[in-house]
């Protein structure tokens, strides 16, 4: 795994680093466009630069890069590959940059409690990195350790985003909705920094899904956890980036387990694991799905679930007209603006056949993302009618992320039937 120095925590320094990177990218592309006889653009230097800068900066900007890495077939291939490497190949800090702080947290007993700790991290991400270890009894563990100064890094990046927020008015987004979206993002970042809350969320998932077939979750070890350090029993698996090499039967089991797990957590627990990038998923040769990183878990209120269920029913129904009250229920419509019925009809035409009873959604063959790209001009004209719905940012991001995970798995499954089963159970419990 590549090495990194501690990231810059200065708001100004991070702003200048991003600004200079943008200028270098623009200059490279402009120079290519002016080169005589050159046809097409070489995106490789851009991908290399983005991967290096985001990996070194860490924090929320790296998290955005990890999310963008899922847009297969949308971004130029060199950029997609560079961002994909950020899912599990983020430059890591040397253990020496963490050891002194860890010794303080464990009252100088770090190497008595963990025998040994592997100094080479097994994973590095946007907010921290993971080291394998064993406890005094020899049990295999992993230590999820926050980067030094990561709170200041997140504050700096959020400050820059706060300054850029008024640009959203160029797309006719209401100020109160932009503020609500910022508040939601701000809350989600701070939630991911709270390892105590993550431990509680993970324990809830472990308790509910104990013995669940086809699913493996890492159990926390509360007595060894400390502020900024989450200690878990190790659960190993193959990286999701390698799942294309798995047999078709294994990929089918993984896709079914993923959908079933999502439906159960949403409609039975009222919670959503909201960080779906492939670095947080793994798989075993037996076709078991392994899920890591419960730092972003979104509670789902019944009123929000009701709105999504209404949208699901509208997409399955015979007329696109039902999408208007569904978007209103979600809070995705600007008041006193005309309904974008043209966009509704196109969306309904795309999704309606895939959500019928018994329909098999072939994620590769349908290539829904390519068809949605064709709707982009129509979406832009509808911005005066639609608005970002507060409370749904993480939900929508998670749905998008798992679309790409199912696409990566080459899934072909009766998605609507799987969802309907969970919805019917949820409805029956509410009416009981």
Residue 174: pLDDT above 60? no
Q: Where are the domains of the chain?
A: 44-89+150-193, 91-146+194-235, 237-431
Q: Give residue 170's pLDDT.
A: 43
Asked if 297 and 203 count as a contact pair (C-beta separation under 8 A), the reply is no
pLDDT on residue 268? 95
Which residue do the tokens 């590769």 mark? 364
**Cα 343 to Cα 375: distance, rounded to the nearest angstrom:** 8
Residues 212, 205 contacting (CB under 8 angstroms): no
Stretch 394-403: mean pLDDT:
88
R_g over Cα of the chain: 23
pLDDT 10s digits, 207-218 = 999 999 999 999
Mean pLDDT of 216-245: 94
Determine which of 18-27, 88-97, 311-320 has the lowest per-residue pLDDT on average. 18-27
* Residue of higher predicted confidence among 181 and 275: 275
Q: How many residues does the chain have?
A: 432
**Per-residue model confidence (pLDDT) at position 432:** 77
pLDDT at site 392? 82
Cis amide prior to 116 (ω within 30 degrees) = yes
In the three-class reduction of DSSP (H, G, I as helix; E, B as strand; rest coil), residue 103 is classed as helix
**87: confidence class by pLDDT, cuts 50, 70, 90:** low
Grade residue 38 by pLDDT with cuts at 50, 70 and 90. Answer: low
Residue 226 scores a pLDDT above 50? yes
Q: What is the pLDDT of residues 265-303, one digit of tens each?
A: 999 999 999 988 888 899 999 999 999 999 889 999 999
pLDDT of residue 190: 78
Rounded CA separation 405/283 (Å): 12
Within 13 Å and on the Cβ side, how many CA atoms surround 246? 27
pLDDT, tens digit, 9 for 90 and up, residues 297-349: 999 999 999 999 999 999 999 999 999 999 999 988 877 888 999 999 999 99
Chain mean pLDDT for the chain: 83
CA 72, chain centre distance (Å): 14
The 10 Å Cβ neighbour count of residue 283 is: 24
DSSP reduced 3-state for 263? helix
* Closest to 84 measured CA to CA, from 64, 73, 69: 69
For 361-397, how does the pLDDT look when each residue is reduced to its tens digit (9 = 90+)?
A: 999 888 888 888 788 788 777 777 887 676 787 888 8
Helices (H), 117-247: 150-164, 175-193, 195-208
Q: What is the CATH T-level fold of the domain 91-146+194-235, as seen in this structure?
A: Phosphorylase Kinase; domain 1 (3.30.200)
pLDDT for residue 8 is more than 60: no
3-state secondary structure of 286: coil
CA distance 284 to 61: 31
pLDDT at 86: 62
**Which residues are CB-contacts of 35 (< 8 A; sequence separation ≥ 6)?**
none
Question: What would the mean pLDDT of 223-238 be, rounded to a whole number?
Answer: 95
Supply the DSSP symbol for 8: P
């Amino acid at each position: 795994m590549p090495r990194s120095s501690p990231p810059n925590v200065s708001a100004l320094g991070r702003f200048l680093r991003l600004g200079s990177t943008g200028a270098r990218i623009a200059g490279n592309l402009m120079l290519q466009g002016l080169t005589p006889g050159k046809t097409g653009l070489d995106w490789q230097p851009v991908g290399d630069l983005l991967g290096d800068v985001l990996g070194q900066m860490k924090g929320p900007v790296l998290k955005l890069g990890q999310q963008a890495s899922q847009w297969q077939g949308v971004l130029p291939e060199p950029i997609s590959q560079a961002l994909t490497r950020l899912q599990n190949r983020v430059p890591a800090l040397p253990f020496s940059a963490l050891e002194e702080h860890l010794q303080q947290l464990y009252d100088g007993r770090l190497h008595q409690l963990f025998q040994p700790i592997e100094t080479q991290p097994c994973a590095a991400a946007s907010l921290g990195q993971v080291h394998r270890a064993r406890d005094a009894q020899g049990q295999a563990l992993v230590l999820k350790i926050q980067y030094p100064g990561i709170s200041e890094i997140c504050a700096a990046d959020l400050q820059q985003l706060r300054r850029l927020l008024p640009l959203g008015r160029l797309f006719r987004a209401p100020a109160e909705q932009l503020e609500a979206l910022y508040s939601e993002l701000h809350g989600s970042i701070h939630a991911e920094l709270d390892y105590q809350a993550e431990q509680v969320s993970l324990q809830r998932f472990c308790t509910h899904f104990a013995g669940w077939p086809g699913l493996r979750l890492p159990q926390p070890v509360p007595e060894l956890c400390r502020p900024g350090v989450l200690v878990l029993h190790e659960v190993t698996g193959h990286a999701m980036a390698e799942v294309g090499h798995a047999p078709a039967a294994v990929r089918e089991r993984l896709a079914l387990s993923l959908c079933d797990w999502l439906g159960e957590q949403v409609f039975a627990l009222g919670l959503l694991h909201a960080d779906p990038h492939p670095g947080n998923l793994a798989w075993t040769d037996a076709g078991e799905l392994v899920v890591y990183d419960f730092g972003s878990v979104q509670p789902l209120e019944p009123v929000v679930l009701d709105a999504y269920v209404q949208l699901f029913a509208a997409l399955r129904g015979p007329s696109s007209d039902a999408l208007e009250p569904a978007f209103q229920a979600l809070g995705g419509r600007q008041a006193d603006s005309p309904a974008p019925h043209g966009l509704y009809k196109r969306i309904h035409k795309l999704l309606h056949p895939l959500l019928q009873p018994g329909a098999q959604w072939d994620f590769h063959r349908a290539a829904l993302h390519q068809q949605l790209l064709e709707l982009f001009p129509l979406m832009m004209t509808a911005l005066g009618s639609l608005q970002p719905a507060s409370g749904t940012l993480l939900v929508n991001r998670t749905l998008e992320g798992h679309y790409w995970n199912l696409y990566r798995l080459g899934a072909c499954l009766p998605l609507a039937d799987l969802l309907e089963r969970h919805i019917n159970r949820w409805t029956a419990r509410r009416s009981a």
